[in-house]
Structure 1
Amino acid sequence: MTRVVAAFDAFKGSLTALEACEAAARGVRAAVPGAEVVLVPMADGGEGSLDALLARGGELRSTATVDAIGRPAIAQWTLDGGHAVIELAQAAGLPQVEDAQLRPLEASTEGLGRVVLDALDAGATELTLLLGGSATTDGGAGVLTALGARLTDAAGSPVGAGGGGLGALERIDVTAIDPRALAARWRFVTDVDAPLTGPRGAAAVFGPQKGATPAEVATLDAALGRLASAAATALGVERAAIADVPGAGAAGGAASVLRALTGGEIVAGGAWFAGLVGLDRAIAGSALVLTGEGRFDGQSAGGKVVSVVHAAARAQGVQLCVLAGAVDAHAAAAMGVPAISIAAGPADLGALQRDAADLLAAAAASVARLTLREAP
């Protein structure tokens, strides 16, 4: 029997990773009725990652918290034994606040900290934070405060919320941090390898996406630098151990201080998910791998789902095709993969999002007809 693997990331605004896999499978089975299609929903730590995990099962929990600008919100997370998986985008995500005026200087991760506390109350001893899709650039200051740290200015008063508040930061006191947080095992799953500060840092690269003007980007970058210096003094480590670690700039720097404080590890999201869902085992013996995301472009090669799936398929000599809402031909050529846009022709974004499942199924059917034949 011909075996096909559908290993898709979410199509933002259109399909979850599981829905994308199901749509591709529908197309393959229509084209090659005898095909066996294995669904492997993928993610890289950004928003939608929790949905990919839930496709594998697990106990879903909900926490009443606040979003990045302080409004009431409900964040979902999973608990498996003592292992809690928490998606930052559920509590401090950009999609949650797109209906309001963006506040890049004030947006805070305090809501994420409240979810972490709820997980600890539920008995979690291992915490995996999925870092991506944030509306914040506060270096995780909101989480630290929620866990009991004091971030103060020269007069000893608490600094304001968000990255903007860090401009007055002089001292961090971690003596009152919740001891359960310090005893827990932490993992930070990131979708980028950016450092905390500098031209590749959290503010410079991602601040504009969160509404920051050039002047505000400069303010936030300087503020994150103050955070790194104050944290290094408080923890007795080199500043580079806060600011220069790959992935420290993910989600507005959410893992930068927390990692050093807890001894946690930063891991590349795509590779972590691949191991978690058994991607290599799924691909073994298959004839074709289909993967994709909403937009396939130059960023896709940097540890995103498509690049991880491509590497796994290439290692086993299995042909692969990328199906995406939009395709950058230069990026496809640079990665050396065939890539097809699911758009049947010119269409507006609303139409593409509305019809994404059917368009993806049709594209998968076309690829299957061209590359497969039913086993005798």
Structure 2
Amino acid sequence: MSIVIALDSLKGSLPAAAAADALGAGWAEVVPDADLVLRPMADGGEGTLDAFAASVPGAQRHPVRVHGPRGTEIDAEWLELPGGTGVVELASTSGIELLGDVRLPWDADTTGFGEAIVAALDAGVDRLVLGIGSSASTDGGAGMLRALGARFRDADGVDIARGARGLASVSAVDLSRVRAMPPGGVTVLSDVTNPLTGPEGAAHVFGPQKGFAEADVAAVDDALHRFARLITVGRTELDPRMPGAGAAGGTGFALAAWGARLVPGAGQVAELIGLREAVDAASLVVTGEGSYDSQSAAGKVPSFVREIADASGVPTALVAGRIGADADVSAFAHALSLTALAGSPEASMADPAAWLREAGRRLASAF
């Protein structure tokens, strides 16, 4: 009996790799000889680097010191996969979780993400895979590009400030000294398809959750529009309306300007960790995320994993921190909510690993 455990992270609570470990430990208590195949999943956000590290034999972590979203130095890392692919995660270098409860909408930026990319380039990677979910900023990726060698100046020729605050004054863009991409190119993993600007763009859709007041959103959208106009001068191949341009506060657009290819995150992660091959040999697949609701069916990890399992004729079980009242779980063979198991959201969040172990025990007993 082969059980594939392909959980996403429980956002703000437990990384995907730790979640898979906990559920697997509970299953093993009931069925000690079960063949548990851990394939922690991600879609480009928090836990992407850990998912690769846990699933790809020979993956090597490299520590790096970068400037986090506050502008202060933090410890981070990038991952080297066998064959020369480097994996860098925005969430652990410039992510919103690094800010805690205090948001810095005008000043947080993506400098640390760019610095980690530079570290991977300096190490000689042949290819880069970049996860850009869970961003703390709406800087259009300017901090990242500046770390790669770009210059952004105001009307007086002075370098602009960090974050969205700087975008409001940018009048000149110089990308002539930006580092070259690695020979194998750059693939960007994202779980959103929003354009850079407009009603569905980075400022309007994601700005409020990063701390912007409603009254500021239009000004930030205007700044992103002006920034894009400066970058696209003479470059007809760049379109701020392209799907994913608005990901990570516009970092998707900045990476496209560098020459990177934007792809849906879950599919690329699944390919690199060999998820389809593991599912083909499985008796059951267990997937899940922190909060499963009506939006989870639109390309999030659980629905993506279930589609792969369905194609192989393998049943899928869902384990989530919470299952929303609007969620349709009828396509899953089993569906467990950690909140329901624990009795309350507070109890579940206090020790998610313990309740994942309990979920593993219950699934093993039921299957």
TM-score (norm 2): 0.92
Which moved further from structure 2: 76-85 or 305-314? 76-85
- Listed as ranges, the matches of 1:300-315 within 5 Å are 300-315=296-311
Matched, 1:253 2:254: no
Name the amino acid aligned to 1:250: A
Residue 331 of structure 1: which of 319, 323, 327 is its match? 327
Q: Distance in 2 between matches of 1:162 and 1:252?
A: 10
Contact 2:240 / 2:253 at 8 angstroms: preserved in 1? yes
User: 1:183 Cα deviation (Å)?
Assistant: 5.9
1:145 aligned residue: 146
Contact 2:189 / 2:264 at 8 angstroms: preserved in 1? yes
2:213 aligned residue: 213
Q: Distance in 1 between matches of 2:315 and 2:182?
A: 45
Q: Structure 1: which 5+ runs fail to align? A: none
- Listed as ranges, the matches of 1:259-274 within 5 Å are 259-262=256-259, 264-274=260-270
User: 1:299 Cα deviation (Å)?
Assistant: 3.1
CA offsets per residue over residues 247-266 of structure 1, 9 Å max, x none?
A: 1111111120321332x211
Q: Distance in 1 between matches of 2:126 and 2:32?
A: 46
Contact 1:164 / 1:219 at 8 angstroms: preserved in 2? no
2:34 aligned residue: 35
Name the amino acid aligned to 1:168: S
Q: Distance in 2 between matches of 1:182 and 1:150?
A: 21
Q: Distance in 2 between matches of 1:216 and 1:182?
A: 38
Residue 289 of structure 2: which of 285, 290, 293 is its match? 293
SS in 2 for 1:331: coil
1:26 aligned residue: 25
Q: Structure 2: which 5+ runs fail to align? A: none
Residue identity (%):
41
Q: Distance in 1 between matches of 2:32 and 2:53?
A: 28
Matched, 1:104 2:105: yes
Count the aligned residue pairs: 362
User: 1:242 Cα deviation (Å)?
Assistant: 3.4
User: 1:366 Cα deviation (Å)?
Assistant: 2.2
2:225 aligned residue: 225
Matched, 1:70 2:77: no
Contact 2:109 / 2:143 at 8 angstroms: preserved in 1? yes
SS in 2 for 1:151: strand
Contact 2:342 / 2:348 at 8 angstroms: preserved in 1? no
User: 1:331 Cα deviation (Å)?
Assistant: 2.3
Q: Say if 1:246 and 1:32 are closer, same or farther in 2 by CA, change over 3 A.
A: same
Residue 90 of structure 2: which of 84, 88, 91 is its match? 88
SS in 1 for 2:336: strand
User: 1:182 Cα deviation (Å)?
Assistant: 7.4
CA offsets per residue over residues 19-39 of structure 1, 9 Å max, x none?
A: 222222233333444532221
1:119 aligned residue: 120
User: 1:142 Cα deviation (Å)?
Assistant: 0.8
Q: Distance in 2 between matches of 1:24 and 1:208?
A: 34
Contact 2:14 / 2:352 at 8 angstroms: preserved in 1? yes
Contact 2:126 / 2:182 at 8 angstroms: preserved in 1? no
- Listed as ranges, the matches of 1:121-136 within 5 Å are 121-136=122-137
Contact 2:31 / 2:364 at 8 angstroms: preserved in 1? yes
SS in 2 for 1:330: coil
Name the amino acid aligned to 1:53: F
Residue 318 of structure 2: which of 316, 322, 334 is its match? 322
Which moved further from structure 2: 30-39 or 17-26? 30-39
Q: Distance in 2 between matches of 1:308 and 1:224?
A: 32
SS in 2 for 1:104: coil
